[in-house]
């Protein structure tokens, strides 16, 4: 029997029962802020509606000024036609209900009847015009909103995508926000038209008898309160479910994602994933039902109060008739006005309520635009030095956002043009992170990265990136053709005779990949598309190496584990290719600085310098021979790798690996 202190407890996997994430995942920071917003009182939130309306109208104007004006005009005209119809109907009733012989009353009311017919025909026409103009305007606004968003997020610094809060804001504010912008166009149009009708109905009622106005406002206020409160309750519930919904969508994705398909099937994870989904979905559904109950109660109270208010209005009408303060002929028109007011009110409230609901997502949208602008490196107008002679890291430390410990600490290092510097060390010691700092992809938390003594944070980012080639540890699998996958390394390449192209293909081994493709170089490398093709991991890596070499103008090449997935022959070819790419055909061998991150120590013996890292620090630095003599971590790692190749007992690893070279 396993005892409590059987010595295995510390290494047993920890679990709080959750398969995805942990049960009490912290909500994103923006959701915290929004909980406070959701806690604000009704008046404070109503005050936000004009801001939402301004944003949407502004975007509509920007996207299509003429059509926006036209939409506003036809919408108001349609409201005016309704109002005119109401006045005309009231006129007809007043004529019909006055004392006198019926035929005369009918004849007297004929002009008003014609006015009613004209008003309703006009309203019908204008309503068709409204939907036609809106039908064109809404997709234009949506496109503009999406474009503004794309432009904002495309420019954010790399580090923002390491921040889960920003990622979730991008998800909510991106998809939902753009939809909210589009839907708000319709809500605002409906509000403006309904307000005209409401004003007409209230004015008619007030003209008929001023007492009717205050009593009509009672149901208005009750309905307004209930709709707003219900929307707010829905929003609070949405915020309380943010992390669980995130986890739900992660499980939904894992159930269908292709990249985890093999393990999902082999590990028979379908059932655990399904039950995890059901478990979280149960919690979400329970909370959603609870929220729905709360909203139903609120709406019920609102309706009851509105009903009381309407009843009160009819009582007032009765009292006015009873006390002869209002003639019967007017009472008919008053009833029509009251019914019109109630219907316009209901439309106004529904539209305001929709806008209010959209306003939450509009806030995510504007928050995302603002946050993206904050996370953009400000343009300085200064450029990084071309082809820097030296790259110097001065006491550089770096901590990823939200991380507890630094990934790099106190790095001092100088790289010279034309050097191949190999970076080695155990997993997680900071090699990849170092590459990102050298190339300005992330700024140091402390210290400075200097290219020819110019601080990289003081220059425009693109002037740095345009001089960098990166062969990533996990190469991007671009859903493009095989050739485009390489060509994007240098879209502006001036290579009329295809010399760089041929070199890139040959040195990386991408030529072999290309030759075997079912539709040749134009084969689309994505199974998302029909006739799309999937490559092996090693083939993707060859394309990535080709992309790096094809970027021949880059002054700095970072090759991060470029051969991790390659067979021995391809690996040797790539290392030789990278060495040549460093020289880049220049006579003086001084063209490019190459940083080579690798665990394959046998391949880096000819590096000009080898930097050994451990736990975020540089612990050793020198040539292969110097480091072997130093008897440190490098020598230990090297011997571990060389040992399996020893053929004679007692043969030194050093000698054996020399054979590999």
Ligand X SMILES: Nc1ncnc2c1ncn2[C@@H]1O[C@H](COP(=O)(O)OP(=O)(O)OP(=O)(O)O)[C@@H](O)[C@H]1O
- In the complex, what is the shortest distance from the CB of residue 202 to ligand X, in angstroms, rounded to a whole number? 59
Tokens of 603: 């391949």
To which residue do tokens 């923006």 refer? 30
- Give the β-pairing of 593-597 and 420-424: parallel
Are 184 and 358 spatial neighbours (Cβ–Cβ below 8 Å)?
yes
- In the complex, what is the shortest distance from the CB of residue 433 to ligand X, in angstroms, rounded to a whole number? 3
Are 471 and 559 spatial neighbours (Cβ–Cβ below 8 Å)?
yes
Tokens of 263: 């393990």
- In the complex, what is the shortest distance from the CB of residue 428 to ligand X, in angstroms, rounded to a whole number? 4
Distances (CA, A) of 519 to 505, 506, 531: 17, 20, 9
Are 606 and 600 spatial neighbours (Cβ–Cβ below 8 Å)?
no
Q: What is the three-class DSSP state of 608?
A: coil
Are 216 and 313 spatial neighbours (Cβ–Cβ below 8 Å)?
yes
- Closer to ligand X by CB, 52 or 437: give it: 437
Helix 328-374 vs helix 29-38: crossing angle, to nearest 10 = 160
- Closer to ligand X by CB, 361 or 575: give it: 575
Task: Report d(CA 76, CA 74) in Å as an integer.
Answer: 5
Are 169 and 367 spatial neighbours (Cβ–Cβ below 8 Å)?
yes
- In the complex, what is the shortest distance from the CB of residue 221 to ligand X, in angstroms, rounded to a whole number? 51
Torsion (CA) 38, 41, 43, 49 in degrees, nearest 10: 0
- Closer to ligand X by CB, 426 or 622: give it: 426
- In the complex, what is the shortest distance from the CB of residue 536 to ligand X, in angstroms, rounded to a whole number? 21
Query: Which residues bind to ligand X, rule: CB under 6 A?
Result: 162, 400, 403, 407, 425, 427-433, 473
- In the complex, what is the shortest distance from the CB of residue 2 to ligand X, in angstroms, rounded to a whole number? 32
Residue 524 phi, psi dihedral angles, 5° rounding = -80, 130
- Closer to ligand X by CB, 371 or 561: give it: 561
- In the complex, what is the shortest distance from the CB of residue 430 to ligand X, in angstroms, rounded to a whole number? 4
- Closer to ligand X by CB, 178 or 441: give it: 441
- In the complex, what is the shortest distance from the CB of residue 431 to ligand X, in angstroms, rounded to a whole number? 4
Tokens of 192: 């403006």
- In the complex, what is the shortest distance from the CB of residue 562 to ligand X, in angstroms, rounded to a whole number? 12
Cβ atoms within 10 Å, residue 570: 20
Are 425 and 638 spatial neighbours (Cβ–Cβ below 8 Å)?
no
């Amino acid at each position: 029997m396993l005892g409590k202190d059987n010595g295995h407890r510390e290494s047993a996997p920890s679990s709080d029962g959750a398969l995805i994430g942990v049960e009490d995942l912290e909500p994103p920071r923006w959701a915290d802020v929004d909980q406070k917003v959701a806690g604000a009182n009704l008046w404070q939130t109503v005050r936000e509606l004009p801001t939402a309306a301004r944003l949407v109208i502004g975007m509509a104007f920007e996207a299509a000024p003429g059509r926006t004006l036209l939409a506003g005009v036809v919408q108001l005209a349609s409201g005016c036609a309704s109002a005119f119809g109401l006045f005309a109907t009231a006129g007809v009733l007043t004529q019909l209900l006055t004392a006198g012989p019926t035929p005369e009353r009918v004849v007297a009311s004929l002009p008003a009847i014609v006015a009613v017919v004209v008003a309703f025909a006009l309203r019908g026409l204008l309503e068709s015009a409204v939907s036609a103009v809106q039908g064109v305007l809404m997709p234009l606004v949506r496109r503009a909103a999406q474009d503004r968003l794309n432009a904002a997020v495309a420019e954010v610094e790399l580090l923002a995508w390491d921040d889960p809060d920003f990622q979730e804001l991008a998800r909510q504010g991106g998809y939902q926000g753009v939809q909210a912008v589009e839907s708000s166009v319709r809500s605002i149009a409906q509000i403006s038209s309904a307000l005209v009708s409401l004003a007409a109905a209230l004015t008619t009622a007030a003209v008929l008898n001023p007492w009717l106005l205050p009593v009509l406002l009672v149901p208005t206020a009750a309905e307004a309160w209930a709709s707003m409160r219900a929307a707010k309750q829905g929003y609070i519930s949405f915020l309380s479910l943010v992390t669980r919904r995130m986890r739900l969508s992660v499980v939904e994705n894992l159930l269908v994602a292709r990249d985890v398909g093999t393990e999902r099937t082999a590990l028979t994870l379908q059932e655990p994933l399904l039950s995890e989904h059901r478990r979280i979905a149960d919690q979400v559904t329970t909370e959603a039902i609870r929220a729905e109950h709360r909203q139903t109660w609120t709406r019920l109270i609102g309706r009851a109060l509105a009903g009381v208010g309407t009843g009160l209005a009819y009582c007032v009408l009765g009292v006015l008739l009873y006390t002869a303060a209002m003639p019967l002929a007017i009472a008919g028109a008053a009833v029509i006005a009251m019914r019109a007011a109630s219907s316009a009110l209901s439309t106004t409230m529904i539209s305001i309520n929709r806008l209010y609901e959209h306003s939450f997502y509009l806030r995510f949208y504007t928050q995302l635009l603002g946050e993206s602008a904050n996370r953009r490196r400000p343009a300085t107008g200064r450029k990084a030095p071309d082809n820097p002679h030296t790259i110097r890291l001065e006491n550089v430390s770096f901590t990823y956002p939200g991380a507890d410990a630094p990934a790099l600490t106190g790095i001092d290092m100088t790289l010279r043009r034309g050097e191949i510097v190999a970076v080695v060390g155990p997993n997680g010691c900071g090699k990849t992170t170092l590459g990102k700092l050298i190339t300005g992809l992330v700024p140091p938390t402390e210290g400075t990265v200097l290219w020819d003594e110019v601080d990289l944070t003081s220059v425009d980012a693109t002037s740095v990136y345009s001089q960098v080639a990166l062969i990533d540890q996990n190469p991007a699998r671009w859903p493009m053709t095989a050739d485009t996958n390489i060509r994007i390394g240098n879209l502006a390449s001036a290579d009329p005779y295809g010399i760089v192209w041929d070199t890139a293909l040959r040195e990386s081994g991408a030529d072999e990949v290309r030759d075997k493709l079912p539709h040749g170089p134009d084969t689309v490398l994505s199974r998302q598309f029909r006739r799309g093709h999937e490559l092996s991991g090693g083939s993707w890596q060859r394309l990535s190496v080709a992309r790096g070499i094809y970027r021949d103008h880059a002054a700095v090449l970072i090759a991060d584990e470029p051969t991790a997935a390659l067979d021995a022959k391809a690996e040797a070819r790539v290392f030789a290719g990278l060495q040549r790419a460093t020289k880049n055909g220049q006579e003086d061998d001084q063209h490019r600085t190459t940083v080579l991150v690798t665990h394959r120590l046998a391949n880096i013996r000819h590096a000009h310098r080898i930097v050994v890292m451990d736990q975020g620090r540089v612990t050793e630095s020198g040539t292969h021979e110097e480091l072997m003599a130093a008897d440190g971590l490098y020598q230990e790692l090297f011997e571990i790798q060389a040992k399996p190749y020893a053929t004679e007992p007692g043969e030194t690893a050093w000698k054996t690996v020399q054979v590999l070279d």
